């Protein structure tokens, strides 16, 4: 497993989420991408955590909408 801070490959699905966060835009509704850490590692920790939270909330919403057996908190 590689270092999450310096990926050797970038998944195309991660680009939309990362660009949206970097530009201060909402993450696209159907994006399944994860934040690329090198883009935000120079930011204050509080801001990094906020970005991760935004990404997590968006992915959680996708799960709730698309996986019938998904239940929050279980």
In the 8-state DSSP scheme, what is residue 25?
A: -
Asked if the structure places residue 46 within a domain, the reply is yes
pLDDT in tens, 10-66: 888 899 999 998 898 999 888 899 999 888 888 999 999 999 999 999 999 998 888
Asked if the structure places residue 3 within a domain, the reply is no
Asked if the structure places residue 73 within a domain, the reply is no
Which pair of structure tokens corresponds to residue 45? 């920790």
pLDDT for the residue 37: 85
Domain that holds residue 37: 13-66
Asked if the structure places residue 72 within a domain, the reply is no
User: Are residues 21 and 35 in contact, defined by beta-carbon separation less than 8 angstroms?
Assistant: yes
Asked if the structure places residue 51 within a domain, the reply is yes
pLDDT for the residue 15: 92
- What's the domain count of the chain? 1
pLDDT for the residue 68: 82
Quote the pTM value: 0.76
Asked if the structure places residue 24 within a domain, the reply is yes
């Amino acid at each position: 497993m590689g270092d999450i801070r310096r990926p050797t490959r970038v998944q195309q699905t991660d680009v939309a989420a990362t660009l949206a966060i970097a530009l201060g835009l909402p993450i696209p509704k159907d994006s399944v991408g994860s934040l690329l850490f090198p883009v935000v590692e120079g930011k204050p920790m509080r801001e990094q955590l906020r970005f991760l939270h935004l990404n997590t909330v968006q992915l959680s919403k996708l799960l709730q909408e698309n996986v019938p057996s998904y239940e929050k908190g279980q």
